[in-house]
C-alpha cells in the first residue's frame, strides 16, 4: 500500500462536473479521463467556446509523448475549422464549427509534451555554478560561437551536395527527352510517335523518382513530409515533437527533397532546408557536447532545452540562408517567423555568424566545382540564387526602376496577392481535411500512391501544354548573334579573318554585348558559350520547327526554379527591345501552378512552398505589368514601365499573402533577385498582402499548426485582441485542483507507483500537508545530508480552501524524466537504515565531492529519453535487490526546482498566458489569492552593479566573521 505522502488523485466520477466534456472517440476519451486535469480543462473550455489557441497545457501538468499517439489525434475529428472563418452557414452552424475546432484542439494537444525553458536553480545546480571559474565560462562562450560557425559550415556543405544532386538528376531527366525533341524539331508536323515516346520516357522517370521520395517519408519518418516549418515553429514555441529532430528525419527529408524537386513536382527546396538546418544544429550540438565532454567540463549545459532551442533556431536560420543564398534574409526569417523566444546574443549574433559562414562555404564549394583553377581569381558575390545574369555583367544598379505613380498599383498588387494567398490557404485546408480521412499517416501505401499520382499528373499537364503550345519566331537579337557566331566559327576553321565593318564599330560591339546579355549570356561568365547554347537553354523548339521556339514550353517544360528566373530576369537589360512573354502563357502558367501548388502542399513527401508561390506571383506580376504597359502606351507616355519590377513585386505579394511574413520576405526577395531599388515598393506590397490575408485567414504555417492541434501559444495583443476570453477568466477557473505530489524524500515504492498511475510531466514536491516546515528540515550542503523532518511522517489532515482545493506547502517541482533517470541510475537513492559513518542512520543522499562528479550526475539527469520509456524500464535498469523497493528512499531535495514560477489563483488567465508565452514555461503552479509577502524588488535592485556591490559586502562580512 502506498505511503500517504504520495498523493495520487482518484479518478473523477463520470459526468459529475457541471461542465461535462462532450462525448468523443471512446479510446481517446478513456485516455483523456485518466487525467482529471485534462478532463476539467476540456469540459470548461469546450463549454466556454475558447479559441483553439487557448493554453491547454498552461496549468498544472504536461503530458509525455507516449501518453497518446501523435497520429491518433487526426482520427478524432475531421470537421475542425482551421483558421478564422472556418465555420460557414448561419450563426448556429458557425458556433458548432467553432466549438468543434476547440474540442479537437484540446484533445489533440494531449499528444504533445511541452519543453521547459525555465532554468533550474536547485541546490546541486547552484553548487556546480558556484564552482565554475572565469576560464570555464569563457571556454563555454567560445564553444557556443564555434558551434554556431560549425552549423553554418555544415549547412553550406549540405546545400552544395543537395544542389549538385538535384541538378544532376534534373538534367538526366530532361536531357533525354529534349534530345529526342530536338532531333525531330526540323519536322514541323506533330505526330503521335513524336508525342508518346518522349512522354512515356519522362513519365517513367518521374514516377520512379516520386515513388522513392514517398517511400522515404512514409516508411522511414512521416515527420519528414511537407516543409517542416510548422513543426519547427511549434518546437521553438516550447512544444516537443517526438522524432522531429532525429537523424532518421534528416535522411528522409533530404532524400525525399532531392527526388521531389528532380521529379518536377511543384515544390521548392527552401522550406525543407529550414527543417534540415534545425536537425543538423541539434545533432551537431549534441555530438560536440559529448565528444568533448572531458575538455568542456560543463558541456551538459549545451544539451538542456534552452541551449538546444537556441542552437536549433540558429540552424533554421542557416538552412534558410544557404537555400536562398541570402544570409541576412535567412536570419530575419528565423527572427520573424521561427523563434518565440528571442535572445540578441544567443540567437541573433551567433545566428548571423552561422548564416554568413554557411553562404560563404556554399559559394566556395560551388566555385571550386565549376572552375577550381580560377578559384582565387573568380569574382564572388555576383551570383544570385534567383538570378539569370551575373551582377557585374548586367549592371544590376541600372535595373528594376519604378515611378511615383506606380506606388498605388504596387499596393493593389499586394492586396490581390493577399487575396490569392488566403484562397490558397482555404483550399489547402479543405484538401488537408480530405487527406486526414482518406490518406492519413497510417495508410502508407495510399500516401505513396498519392505522391506518385501528383507527380505524374504534374508532368502530364506540363507535357500536354508544351505539346499544344503555339510557336513563335526567335527574337531578332538572338538570330543576329547566332549568325555572327556561326560566321566567326567558320572563319576560324579556315583561318580567315572576318572584315571589321568600317561604320560605327563601337555600336556594333555594344550591340553584340547587349544581345548576349539580353538572352542570358551573362550567366555563363566562365566564357566559351555561344548564342546557340543560349538558344538551347531558353528558346528550345520542342514540338516546333527549328527556327522557332515553344511559347508555353519555354516556362512549362523546365524546372520550376529556372522558370522563375526567366519570368524575373529574361531580357531585363534592353527596355527598348525587351522580351515580353505571351499573355496566354502567363495566364496558363499562373492557373496551373496555383492549382498544383495547392494540391501538392501537404502530400507525403518533402515539399517547400517558397518557390511555387514566388513563381505564381511572378507570373501574376508580369500580367499586371503587361496590362499597365498597354494602358501607358495608349496614352503616349514617354517612358516604358519595367515588367521585371512587376514580376518581383508580384512574387513578393503572393508569398507574403500565403505566409504573412513581411520583413524577411522583403530582404529575401531583394537578396535573391538583386532588386535593391524596389525596397519601398516591396515593403508596401507585403504590408498590404499581410493586411488583406490576415483579415481572411491565418497564414499557411499557422493554419497547419492548428490543424495538427499542437498547443502552440501565439503572441496576442496585450489589449486582448485575438483572445479576449483570457481577460474574463481567472486562473482558478481553469486550474487543476487535485495534484499528484511527492514528499522531499519519498519511498522508492511510492515514486514508482505514482509514475505508473499518473502520466503528469512534473510533480510538486510538498511538505507534510497542513504543517509548516521546521528549521531542521533543511539540507546541509557541506555534509551532503539532511534530516527528514516532518516530511517523512504522515501529517495532519490537509486544510482546504473555499473552493475545495487542498493547500500544500511547496518545496519545489521535479520532472518526470528526472525521476525516471534517478531510478534508472540510482541517483539520489539511499537506505535510511544504513549507517552514514557517524553512527547515525542516513538522512539523505550524499553528494559527490568533486566538481566532475557533480557535473556528471547533472548530465545524467538531462540525458535523452531514448530507451527509457516507462517506470518498468527504469526499474529493470536499476537492478534492485529483493526488498529494496520497499526500503529505499529517493532524496529529491538536491535535484528539484525549488523556485518554480507561481501565479495567484485570482489572477486573470491572460497573465498566466503571458508567463507561458514569454518565459517558456512547462508548468505554472497556482498559489492562494492572498499570498504572504516578505519584501519587494525593483529594477535597480537587480542591476549588475547592485548585485556585485551586495556580493562584495557579503564577502567582506564573511571574511571579518571568519577572522
Q: pLDDT of 416-428, one tens digit each? A: 999 999 999 999 9
- Asked if 568 and 644 count as a contact pair (C-beta separation under 8 A), the reply is yes
- Asked if 355 and 671 count as a contact pair (C-beta separation under 8 A), the reply is no
Give the whole-angstrom CA distance, residue 925 versus residue 735: 9
- Asked if 236 and 530 count as a contact pair (C-beta separation under 8 A), the reply is no
Residue 100 has which C-alpha cell? 468543434
| Whether the predicted pLDDT of 31 surpasses 50 | no
Confidence of residue 838 (pLDDT cuts 50, 70, 90): low
The reported pLDDT for the residue numbered 844 is 64
| Whether the predicted pLDDT of 517 surpasses 60 | no
| Whether the predicted pLDDT of 609 surpasses 80 | yes
Percent above pLDDT 90 for the chain: 33
The reported pLDDT for the residue numbered 12 is 41
Give the whole-angstrom CA distance, residue 943 versus residue 698: 41
- Asked if 587 and 678 count as a contact pair (C-beta separation under 8 A), the reply is no
For the stretch 769-799, what's the b/e string if a residue is b when 16 or more beta carbons lie within 10 angstroms of its beta carbon? Answer: bebebeeebebeeeebbbbbbbbbeebeeee
The reported pLDDT for the residue numbered 97 is 52
| Whether the predicted pLDDT of 894 surpasses 80 | yes
The reported pLDDT for the residue numbered 70 is 35
- Asked if 824 and 881 count as a contact pair (C-beta separation under 8 A), the reply is no
- Asked if 923 and 762 count as a contact pair (C-beta separation under 8 A), the reply is yes
- Asked if 318 and 158 count as a contact pair (C-beta separation under 8 A), the reply is no
CATH number of the domain at 728-769+805-958, please? 3.10.580.10
The reported pLDDT for the residue numbered 963 is 43
SS3 16: coil
| Whether the predicted pLDDT of 676 surpasses 60 | yes
| Whether the predicted pLDDT of 498 surpasses 70 | no
Lowest-pLDDT range of 114-128, 188-202, 344-358: 188-202
> Beta partners for 841?
835
Lowest-pLDDT range of 211-220, 469-478, 512-521, 809-818: 512-521
Residue 946 has which C-alpha cell? 547592485
Confidence of residue 635 (pLDDT cuts 50, 70, 90): confident
- Asked if 9 and 759 count as a contact pair (C-beta separation under 8 A), the reply is no
The reported pLDDT for the residue numbered 867 is 56
Give the whole-angstrom CA distance, residue 140 versus residue 301: 9
Q: In 371-406, which residue ranges form alpha helices assigned H by DSSP?
A: 391-394
The distance from CA 560 to its chain's CA centroid, rounded to whole angstroms, is: 23
The reported pLDDT for the residue numbered 770 is 43
Confidence of residue 15 (pLDDT cuts 50, 70, 90): very low
- Asked if 83 and 698 count as a contact pair (C-beta separation under 8 A), the reply is yes
Query: Taking the alpha carbons of 701, 703, 706, 708 in that order, is the dihedral positive or negative?
Result: negative
The listed range with the strongest mean pLDDT (244-248, 370-374, 795-799) is 244-248
| Whether the predicted pLDDT of 297 surpasses 50 | yes
Give the whole-angstrom CA distance, residue 72 versus residue 623: 45
Residue 704 has which C-alpha cell? 497547419
Placement of cell 519522362 in the chain: 202
| Whether the predicted pLDDT of 852 surpasses 80 | no
Q: How many beta carbons lie within 10 A of that of residue 455, not counting itself?
A: 29
The distance from CA 28 to its chain's CA centroid, rounded to whole angstroms, is: 28
Confidence of residue 303 (pLDDT cuts 50, 70, 90): confident
Strands 829-830 and 779-780, by their bridges, are unpaired
Give the whole-angstrom CA distance, residue 936 versus residue 269: 53
| Whether the predicted pLDDT of 76 surpasses 90 | no
- Asked if 264 and 462 count as a contact pair (C-beta separation under 8 A), the reply is yes
For the chain, what are the domain ranges? 728-769+805-958
Query: Taking the alpha carbons of 549, 553, 555, 559 in that order, is the dihedral positive or negative?
Result: negative
Identify the residue with better confidence: 298 or 820: 820
Give the whole-angstrom CA distance, residue 718 versus residue 316: 29
Give the whole-angstrom CA distance, residue 594 versus residue 603: 15
Confidence of residue 505 (pLDDT cuts 50, 70, 90): very low
The reported pLDDT for the residue numbered 802 is 40
The listed range with the strongest mean pLDDT (382-391, 595-604, 790-799) is 595-604
- Asked if 752 and 885 count as a contact pair (C-beta separation under 8 A), the reply is yes
The reported pLDDT for the residue numbered 548 is 84
- Asked if 744 and 892 count as a contact pair (C-beta separation under 8 A), the reply is yes
Identify the residue with better confidence: 939 or 386: 939
Identify the residue with better confidence: 125 or 265: 265
Q: What is the mean pLDDT of residues 668-673?
A: 90
Q: What is the mean pLDDT of residues 719-741?
A: 81
The reported pLDDT for the residue numbered 38 is 37
Lowest-pLDDT range of 5-14, 321-330, 706-715: 5-14
Lowest-pLDDT range of 9-23, 372-386, 927-941: 9-23
Q: In 862-933, which residue ranges form alpha helices assigned H by DSSP?
A: 871-878, 884-887, 909-919
The reported pLDDT for the residue numbered 626 is 93
Length of the chain: 963
Confidence of residue 651 (pLDDT cuts 50, 70, 90): very high
Q: What is the mean pLDDT of residues 183-196?
A: 64
As a three-state string, the secondary structure of 328-345 is HHHHHHHHHHHCCCCCHH
> Beta partners for 101?
none
Lowest-pLDDT range of 253-262, 345-354, 433-442, 823-832: 823-832
Closest-CA residue to 444 (of 214, 226, 263): 214
Q: What is the mean pLDDT of residues 576-593?
A: 86
The reported pLDDT for the residue numbered 386 is 64
User: How far does the chain reach from its first CA to its final CA, in angstroms?
Assistant: 54
Q: What is the mean pLDDT of residues 63-70?
A: 36
> Beta partners for 747?
889
Confidence of residue 365 (pLDDT cuts 50, 70, 90): very high
| Whether the predicted pLDDT of 310 surpasses 80 | yes
Lowest-pLDDT range of 171-180, 612-621, 775-784: 775-784
Q: What is the DSSP string of 73-142?
A: GGGT-S----STT---SSHHHHHHHHHHHHHHHHHHHTT-EE---SPP--HHHHHHHHT--HHHHHHHHH
The reported pLDDT for the residue numbered 265 is 94
SS3 795: coil
Give the whole-angstrom CA distance, residue 276 versus residue 278: 5
Closest-CA residue to 57 (of 105, 100, 20, 19): 105
Identify the residue with better confidence: 103 or 274: 274
The reported pLDDT for the residue numbered 491 is 58
The distance from CA 420 to its chain's CA centroid, rounded to whole angstroms, is: 23
Give the whole-angstrom CA distance, residue 957 versus residue 377: 67
Give the whole-angstrom CA distance, residue 766 versus residue 63: 21
The reported pLDDT for the residue numbered 284 is 92
Q: In 635-719, which residue ranges form alpha helices assigned H by DSSP?
A: 643-659, 663-673, 679-694, 700-708
The mean pLDDT value of the chain amounts to 77
Percent above pLDDT 70 for the chain: 71
The reported pLDDT for the residue numbered 872 is 75
Identify the residue with better confidence: 959 or 899: 899
Q: What is the mean pLDDT of residues 277-300?
A: 81
Where are any strands of DSSP class E within 535-647?
A: 548-550
Question: CA torsion, points 242, 248, 253, 255, in degrees to nearest 10?
Answer: -170
Amino acid at each position: 500500500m502506498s505511503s500517504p505522502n504520495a498523493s495520487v488523485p482518484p479518478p473523477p466520477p463520470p459526468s459529475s462536473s457541471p461542465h461535462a466534456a462532450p462525448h468523443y472517440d471512446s479510446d481517446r476519451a478513456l485516455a483523456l479521463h485518466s487525467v482529471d486535469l485534462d478532463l476539467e480543462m476540456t469540459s470548461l473550455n469546450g463549454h466556454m467556446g475558447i479559441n483553439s489557441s487557448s493554453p491547454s497545457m498552461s496549468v498544472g501538468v504536461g503530458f509525455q509523448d507516449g501518453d497518446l499517439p501523435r497520429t491518433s489525434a487526426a482520427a478524432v475529428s475531421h470537421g475542425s475549422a482551421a483558421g478564422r472563418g472556418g465555420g460557414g452557414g448561419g450563426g448556429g452552424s458557425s458556433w458548432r464549427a467553432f466549438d468543434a475546432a476547440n474540442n479537437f484542439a484540446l484533445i489533440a494537444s494531449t499528444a504533445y509534451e511541452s519543453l521547459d525553458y525555465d532554468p533550474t536553480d536547485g541546490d546541486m545546480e547552484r553548487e556546480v555554478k558556484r564552482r565554475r571559474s572565469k576560464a570555464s565560462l569563457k571556454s563555454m562562450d567560445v564553444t557556443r560561437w564555434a558551434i554556431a560557425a560549425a552549423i553554418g559550415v555544415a549547412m553550406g556543405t549540405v546545400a552544395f551536395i543537395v544542389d549538385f544532386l538535384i541538378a544532376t538528376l534534373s538534367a538526366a531527366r530532361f536531357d533525354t527527352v529534349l534530345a529526342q525533341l530536338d532531333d525531330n524539331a526540323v519536322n514541323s508536323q506533330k505526330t503521335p510517335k513524336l508525342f508518346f515516346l518522349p512522354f512515356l520516357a519522362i513519365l517513367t522517370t518521374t514516377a520512379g523518382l516520386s515513388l522513392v521520395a514517398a517511400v522515404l517519408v512514409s516508411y522511414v519518418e512521416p515527420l519528414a513530409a511537407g516543409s517542416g516549418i510548422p513543426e519547427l515553429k511549434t518546437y521553438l514555441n516550447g512544444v516537443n515533437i517526438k522524432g522531429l529532430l532525429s537523424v532518421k528525419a534528416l535522411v528522409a527529408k533530404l532524400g525525399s527533397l532531392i527526388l521531389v524537386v528532380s521529379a518536377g513536382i511543384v515544390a521548392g527546396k527552401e522550406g525543407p532546408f529550414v527543417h534540415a538546418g534545425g536537425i543538423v544544429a541539434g545533432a551537431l550540438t549534441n555530438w560536440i557536447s559529448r565528444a568533448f565532454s572531458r575538455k568542456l567540463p560543463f558541456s551538459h549545459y549545451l544539451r538542456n532545452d534552452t541551449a538546444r532551442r537556441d542552437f536549433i533556431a540558429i540552424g533554421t536560420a542557416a538552412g534558410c540562408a544557404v537555400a536562398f543564398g541570402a544570409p541576412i534574409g535567412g536570419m530575419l526569417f528565423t527572427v520573424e517567423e521561427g523563434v518565440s523566444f528571442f535572445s540578441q546574443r544567443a540567437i541573433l549574433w551567433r545566428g548571423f555568424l552561422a548564416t554568413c559562414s554557411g553562404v560563404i562555404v556554399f559559394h566556395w564549394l560551388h566555385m571550386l566545382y565549376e572552375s577550381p583553377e580560377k578559384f582565387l581569381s573568380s569574382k564572388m558575390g555576383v551570383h544570385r540564387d534567383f538570378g539569370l545574369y551575373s551582377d557585374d555583367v548586367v549592371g544590376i544598379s541600372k535595373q528594376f526602376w519604378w515611378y511615383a505613380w506606380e506606388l498605388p498599383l504596387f499596393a493593389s498588387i499586394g492586396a490581390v496577392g493577399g487575396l490569392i494567398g488566403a484562397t490558397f490557404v482555404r483550399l489547402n485546408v479543405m484538401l488537408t481535411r480530405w487527406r486526414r480521412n482518406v490518406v492519413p499517416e497510417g495508410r502508407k501505401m495510399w500516401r505513396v500512391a498519392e505522391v506518385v499520382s501528383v507527380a505524374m499528373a504534374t508532368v502530364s499537364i506540363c507535357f500536354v501544354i508544351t505539346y499544344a503550345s503555339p510557336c513563335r519566331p526567335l527574337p531578332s537579337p538572338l538570330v543576329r548573334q547566332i549568325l555572327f557566331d556561326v560566321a566567326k566559327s567558320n572563319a576560324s576553321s579556315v583561318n580567315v579573318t572576318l572584315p571589321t565593318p568600317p561604320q560605327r564599330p563601337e555600336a556594333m560591339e555594344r550591340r553584340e554585348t547587349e544581345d548576349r546579355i539580353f538572352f542570358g549570356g551573362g550567366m555563363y561568365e566562365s566564357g566559351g558559350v555561344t548564342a546557340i547554347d543560349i538558344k538551347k537553354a531558353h528558346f528550345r523548339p520542342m514540338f516546333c520547327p527549328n527556327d522557332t521556339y515553344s511559347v508555353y514550353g519555354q516556362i512549362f517544360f523546365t524546372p520550376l526554379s529556372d522558370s522563375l528566373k526567366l519570368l524575373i530576369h529574361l531580357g531585363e537589360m534592353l527596355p527598348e527591345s525587351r522580351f515580353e512573354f505571351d499573355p496566354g502563357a502567363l495566364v496558363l502558367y499562373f492557373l496551373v501552378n496555383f492549382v498544383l501548388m495547392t494540391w501538392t502542399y501537404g502530400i507525403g513527401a518533402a515539399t517547400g512552398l517558397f518557390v511555387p508561390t514566388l513563381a505564381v506571383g511572378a507570373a501574376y506580376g508580369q500580367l499586371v505589368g503587361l496590362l499597365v504597359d498597354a494602358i501607358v502606351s495608349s496614352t503616349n507616355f514617354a517612358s516604358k514601365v519595367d515588367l521585371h519590377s512587376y514580376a518581383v513585386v508580384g512574387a513578393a505579394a503572393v508569398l507574403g499573402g500565403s505566409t504573412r511574413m513581411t520583413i524577411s520576405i522583403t530582404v529575401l526577395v531583394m537578396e535573391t533577385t538583386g532588386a535593391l531599388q524596389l525596397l519601398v515598393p516591396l515593403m508596401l506590397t507585403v504590408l498590404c498582402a499581410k493586411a488583406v490575408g490576415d483579415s481572411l485567414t491565418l497564414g499557411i504555417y499557422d493554419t497547419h499548426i492548428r490543424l495538427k492541434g499542437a498547443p502552440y501559444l501565439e503572441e496576442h495583443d496585450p489589449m486582448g485582441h485575438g483572445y479576449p476570453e483570457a481577460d474574463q477568466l481567472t486562473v482558478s477557473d481553469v486550474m487543476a485542483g487535485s495534484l499528484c505530489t511527492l514528499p522531499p524524500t519519498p519511498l522508492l515504492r511510492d515514486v514508482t507507483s505514482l509514475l505508473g498511475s499518473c502520466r503528469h510531466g512534473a510533480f510538486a514536491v510538498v511538505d507534510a500537508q497542513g504543517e509548516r516546515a521546521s528549521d531542521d528540515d533543511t539540507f546541509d550542503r557541506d555534509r551532503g545530508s539532511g534530516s527528514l523532518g516532518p516530511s517523512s511522517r504522515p501529517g495532519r489532515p490537509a486544510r482546504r480552501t473555499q473552493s475545495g482545493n487542498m493547500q500544500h506547502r511547496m518545496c519545489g517541482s521535479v520532472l518526470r524524466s528526472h525521476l525516471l533517470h534517478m531510478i534508472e541510475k540510482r541517483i539520489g537513492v539511499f537506505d535510511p537504515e544504513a549507517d552514514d559513518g557517524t553512527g547515525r542512520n542516513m538522512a539523505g543522499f550524499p553528494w559527490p565531492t568533486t566538481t566532475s562528479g557533480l557535473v556528471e550526475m547533472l548530465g545524467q539527469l538531462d540525458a535523452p529519453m531514448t530507451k527509457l520509456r516507462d517506470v518498468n524500464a527504469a526499474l529493470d535498469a536499476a537492478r534492485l535487490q529483493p526488498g529494496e523497493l520497499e526500503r529505499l528512499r529517493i532524496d529529491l531535495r538536491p535535484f528539484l526546482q525549488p523556485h518554480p514560477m507561481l501565479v495567484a489563483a485570482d489572477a486573470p488567465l491572460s497573465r498566466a498566458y503571458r508567463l507561458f508565452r514569454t518565459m517558456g514555461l512547462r508548468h505554472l503552479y497556482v498559489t492562494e489569492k492572498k499570498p504572504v509577502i516578505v519584501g519587494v524588488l525593483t529594477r535597480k535592485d537587480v542591476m549588475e552593479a547592485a548585485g556585485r556591490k551586495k556580493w562584495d559586502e557579503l564577502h567582506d562580512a564573511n571574511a571579518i566573521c571568519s577572522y
